[in-house]
């Protein structure tokens, strides 16, 4: 067997550069590059390897390790999980900064490869700078914190261990059911140790991503259930988009008349103006989708993991005897809601169902009812887009302006705060990849970093990052990276002076918005209103901050100025930040839905007690789906 003498890090970089993925006959690289922040734990290992052969794997510098994992995840999502970026860090804080990014990737079922440095395998210089010492165990390091948030985790203690570890990592990263963050912890000494690696390890290796069909008997059973139903509803999750099943779904809907409701990850499965498109479902759902869900007798979940936002904390599907058929590549998800599991690829499964349902369609009355609800919802969106609220605009108007002034193929990116819910309800999605809201982990700080990954994955599209002031303050530094890489982002910074979403939640539960507004401390104050404290705003200028990071900044005081800025920003070549203040108290209502958030059973406040009683009334609507 031919071998080549390389350090473990050099071998790893060569291996990563040689990995390919193929689906439907289209073959391409799996790793398009490697993000990294160097420290003593990787600069002379993985860093040396990347520097020695820079053409193998493009190196991207980031500002923060969490952010670079978000960027890699955003990239992978945009590429329908068929490509990603690796992330190399030093040991210690650089490594643990990735924990949040890893959790977000794993929860959203997105492939990212994390390569944290680790303490010396030899243990000779222990405790090395940044090493966690655990008196009761010798083989613990901070990288163990990545175990629960990784779908595969290994520590490469000897150079030859890289061979099985690298192959195992690729299996998980390309397995559509198992996918998530993969961590290979790399002790800093082992990274630099040489070994005679088999040359075959570095040959191009193609990982086939298949389209497995669900079991034929289960498909027959599912088709029987659908034929027997009067009011079926498809709940489209992220799996529809990742499997590129949106056209198959559109054909299915056209033929059968079964309407479609979308989860956050599934938004974009069916263009907003197609017959049968009921839009968002659940807590942040449309009136159309939530009405149809409440009366559905059969729910066909496709590629959804049924989060509480989708099921409205188990209150959305209210009809007695409602049944579920779940088409999902992961048996774990297919088995939820007591449903009939169809374990397989979304597109292949949908086509197989479609074949079995030839000649069948829902009744005309149901089709009409859904169409009326869809049209009614569209009018509600138009109303919210043109509220004319003042003096500060409402957030729905800001969303409307961005939606109207962006092109169909452009991408809107968001993650946390009050905007994901409003975007889920209101955004008119025209392209399957046009809507990118991270709402599995709802990570404050994902927005700009994730948006950067989206832009890297498809530079032909404009990327509109919608970020709240809170998220901006948590993680905006990748603006610098976007400028360095000449990857333009259009960032709409919606400034409502604090955590408006949680403030609203707090007020609705009797706790007056405690701790959610940016104001100087006022002793003894409970609420977030000026009336409670001294009410003085902080001398913070986020637009100036963005300017300082190198962005071209537009300050929009109202909707007209926002529209002008959006138009002007199209002519700018590098990253733009449009700062727009909004009215934190003017929010989009909820449409016949409920989210379970616990309320204190005893308190000294009448408001909290009332909220608790309300909570108990609503909680009584929760269903078991068995």
Query: Which residues of this protein are in contact with ligand TPP, per CB under 6 A?
Result: 416-419, 442-445, 468-471, 496, 499-502
Q: Which of 572, 529, 581, 534 shows the shortest CA–CA distance to 553? A: 572
Would you give the DSSP letter of residue 532?
Answer: G
The item of ligand TPP, Mg ion, none sharing an interface with residue 416, based on CB under 5 to 8 Å by kind, is: ligand TPP
The item of ligand TPP, Mg ion, none sharing an interface with residue 421, based on CB under 5 to 8 Å by kind, is: none
One residue of 400, 468, 510, 581 binding Mg ion per CB under 5 A = 468
Q: Which residues contact 340 (CB under 8 A, 6 or more apart)?
A: 218, 221, 222, 225, 323, 324, 325, 326
Shortest gap between Cβ of 469 and ligand TPP (angstroms)? 4
Computed from CA positions of residues 237, 241, 245, 251, in that sequence, does the dihedral angle turn out positive or negative?
A: positive
The item of Mg ion, ligand TPP, none sharing an interface with residue 257, based on CB under 5 to 8 Å by kind, is: none
Cα–Cα distance between 276 and 269 in angstroms, integer? 12
Q: Which residues contact 338 (CB under 8 A, 6 or more apart)?
A: 324, 624, 625, 626
For residue 514, the Cα-to-chain-centroid distance in whole angstroms is 28
Tell me which H or E stretch contains 174.
helix 162-174
Examine residue 421 and tell whether it contacts Mg ion (CB under 5 A). no
CB 437 within 8 A of CB 411: no
Q: At what angle do helices 65-78 and 98-107 cross, to 10 degrees?
A: 20
Cα–Cα distance between 60 and 158 in angstroms, integer? 27
Shortest gap between Cβ of 475 and ligand TPP (angstroms)? 9
**Of 443 and 545, which has the nearer Cβ to ligand TPP?**
443
The DSSP bridge partners found for residue 554 are: 578
Q: Which residues contact 174 (CB under 8 A, 6 or more apart)?
A: 21, 30, 111, 207, 209
Cα–Cα distance between 522 and 544 in angstroms, integer? 27
The item of Mg ion, ligand TPP, none sharing an interface with residue 248, based on CB under 5 to 8 Å by kind, is: none
**Of 406 and 496, which has the nearer Cβ to Mg ion?**
496
Stretch near Mg ion under the rule CB under 5 A, chosen from 59-67, 265-273, 468-476, 600-608: 468-476
Shortest gap between Cβ of 446 and ligand TPP (angstroms)? 9
Q: Cβ-closest residue to Mg ion? A: 468
CB 300 within 8 A of CB 232: yes
Shortest gap between Cβ of 238 and ligand TPP (angstroms)? 19
Q: Which of 433, 458, 73 shows the shortest CA–CA distance to 266? A: 433
Phi, psi of 267 (to 5 degrees): -65, 130
Stretch near Mg ion under the rule CB under 5 A, chosen from 8-16, 263-271, 448-456, 495-503: 495-503
Examine residue 175 and tell whether it contacts Mg ion (CB under 5 A). no
**Of 32 and 447, which has the nearer Cβ to ligand TPP?**
447
The item of Mg ion, ligand TPP, none sharing an interface with residue 482, based on CB under 5 to 8 Å by kind, is: none
Shortest gap between Cβ of 478 and ligand TPP (angstroms)? 15
**Of 303 and 581, which has the nearer Cβ to Mg ion?**
581
The item of ligand TPP, Mg ion, none sharing an interface with residue 506, based on CB under 5 to 8 Å by kind, is: none
Shortest gap between Cβ of 499 and Mg ion (angstroms)? 6
Examine residue 117 and tell whether it contacts Mg ion (CB under 5 A). no
- Two tokens, residue 600: 């204190």
β-strand pairing of 19-23 with 31-36: unpaired
Shortest gap between Cβ of 466 and ligand TPP (angstroms)? 10
SS3 266: coil
Where would I find the beta strands (DSSP E) of 338-401?
340-343
**Of 111 and 470, which has the nearer Cβ to Mg ion?**
470
Examine residue 469 and tell whether it contacts Mg ion (CB under 5 A). yes
The item of Mg ion, ligand TPP, none sharing an interface with residue 284, based on CB under 5 to 8 Å by kind, is: none
- Two tokens, residue 170: 């690729």
SS3 525: coil
CB 221 within 8 A of CB 153: no
Shortest gap between Cβ of 588 and ligand TPP (angstroms)? 11
The item of ligand TPP, Mg ion, none sharing an interface with residue 191, based on CB under 5 to 8 Å by kind, is: none
Our CA dihedral for 24, 25, 26, 30, rounded to 10 degrees, sits at 90
**Of 235 and 578, which has the nearer Cβ to ligand TPP?**
578
Tell me which H or E stretch contains 314.
none
One residue of 496, 545, 587, 593 binding Mg ion per CB under 5 A = 496
The item of Mg ion, ligand TPP, none sharing an interface with residue 422, based on CB under 5 to 8 Å by kind, is: none
Shortest gap between Cβ of 496 and ligand TPP (angstroms)? 5
Shortest gap between Cβ of 496 and Mg ion (angstroms)? 4
Stretch near Mg ion under the rule CB under 5 A, chosen from 47-55, 72-80, 142-150, 496-504: 496-504
The item of Mg ion, ligand TPP, none sharing an interface with residue 419, based on CB under 5 to 8 Å by kind, is: ligand TPP
Shortest gap between Cβ of 398 and Mg ion (angstroms)? 12
Which residues ranging from 567 to 626 are in contact with Mg ion (CB under 5 A)?
none
The answer to whether the peptide bond before residue 559 is cis (omega within 30 degrees of 0) is no
The item of ligand TPP, Mg ion, none sharing an interface with residue 442, based on CB under 5 to 8 Å by kind, is: ligand TPP
Shortest gap between Cβ of 518 and Mg ion (angstroms)? 9
Where would I find the beta strands (DSSP E) of 355-469?
411-414, 435-437, 463-468
- List contacts with Mg ion (CB under 5 A): 468-470, 496, 500
């Amino acid at each position: 067997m031919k071998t080549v003498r390389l350090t473990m890090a050099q071998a790893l970089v060569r291996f990563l550069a040689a990995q390919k993925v193929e689906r439907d006959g289209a073959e391409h690289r799996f790793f398009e590059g490697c993000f990294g922040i160097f420290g003593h734990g990787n600069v002379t290992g993985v860093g040396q390897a990347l520097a020695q052969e820079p053409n193998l794997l493009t190196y991207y510098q980031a500002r923060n390790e969490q952010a670079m994992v978000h960027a890699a995840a955003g990239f992978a999502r945009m590429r329908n999980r068929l490509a990603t970026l690796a992330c190399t860090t030093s040991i210690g804080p650089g490594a643990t900064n990735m924990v949040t990014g890893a959790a977000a990737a794993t929860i959203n079922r997105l492939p990212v490869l994390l390569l944290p440095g680790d303490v010396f395998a030899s243990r000779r210089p222990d405790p090395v700078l940044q090493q966690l010492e655990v008196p009761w165990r010798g083989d613990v390091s901070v990288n163990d914190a990545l175990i629960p948030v990784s779908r595969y985790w290994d520590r490469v203690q000897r150079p030859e261990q890289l061979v099985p570890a690298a192959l195992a990592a690729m299996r998980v990263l390309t397995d559509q059911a198992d996918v998530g963050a993969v961590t290979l912890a790399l002790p800093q000494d082992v990274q630099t140790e040489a070994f005679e690696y088999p040359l075959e390890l570095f040959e191009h290796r193609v990982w086939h991503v298949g389209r497995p069909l669900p079991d034929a008997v289960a498909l027959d059973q599912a088709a029987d259930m659908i034929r027997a139903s009067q009011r079926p509803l498809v709940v489209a999750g992220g799996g529809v988009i990742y499997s590129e099943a949106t056209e198959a779904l559109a054909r299915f809907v056209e033929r059968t008349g079964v309407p479609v409701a979308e989860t956050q990850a599934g938004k974009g499965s069916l263009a907003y103006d197609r017959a049968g498109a009921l839009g968002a479902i659940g807590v942040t759902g449309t009136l159309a989708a939530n009405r149809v869900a409440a009366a559905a007798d059969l729910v066909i979940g496709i590629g959804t993991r049924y989060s509480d936002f989708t099921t409205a904390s188990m209150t959305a599907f209210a009809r007695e005897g409602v049944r579920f058929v779940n088409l999902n590549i992961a048996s774990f998800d297919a088995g939820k809601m007591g449903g009939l599991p169809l374990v397989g690829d979304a597109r292949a499964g949908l086509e197989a169902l479609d074949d079995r349902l030839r000649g069948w369609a829902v009744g005309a009355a149901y089709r009409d009812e859904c169409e009326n609800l869809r049209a009614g919802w569209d009018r509600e969106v138009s109303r919210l887009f043109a509220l004319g609220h003042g003096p500060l605009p409402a957030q729905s108007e800001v969303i409307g302006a961005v939606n109207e002034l962006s092109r169909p193929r452009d991408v809107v990116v968001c993650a946390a705060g009050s905007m994901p819910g409003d975007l889920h309800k209101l955004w008119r999605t025209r392209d399957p990849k046009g809507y990118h809201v991270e709402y599995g982990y709802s990570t404050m700080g994902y927005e700009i970093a994730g948006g950067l990954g989206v832009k890297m994955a498809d530079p032909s599209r404009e990327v509109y990052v919608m970020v709240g002031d809170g998220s901006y303050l948590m993680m905006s530094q990748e603006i610098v990276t976007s400028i360095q890489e000449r990857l333009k982002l259009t960032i709409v910074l919606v400034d409502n002076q604090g955590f408006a979403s949680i403030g609203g939640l707090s007020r609705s539960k009797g706790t007056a918005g405690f701790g959610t507004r940016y104001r100087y401390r006022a002793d003894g104050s409970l609420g977030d209103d000026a009336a409670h404290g001294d009410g003085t705003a902080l001398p913070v200028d986020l637009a100036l901050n963005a300017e300082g990071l190198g962005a071209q900044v537009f300050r929009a005081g109202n909707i007209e100025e926002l529209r002008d800025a959006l138009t002007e920003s199209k002519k700018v070549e590098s990253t733009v930040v449009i700062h727009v203040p909004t009215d934190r108290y003017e929010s989009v209502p909820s449409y016949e839905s409920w989210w379970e958030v616990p309320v204190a059973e005893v308190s000294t406040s009448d408001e909290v007690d009332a909220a608790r009683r309300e909570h108990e009334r609503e909680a009584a609507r929760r269903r078991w789906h068995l």
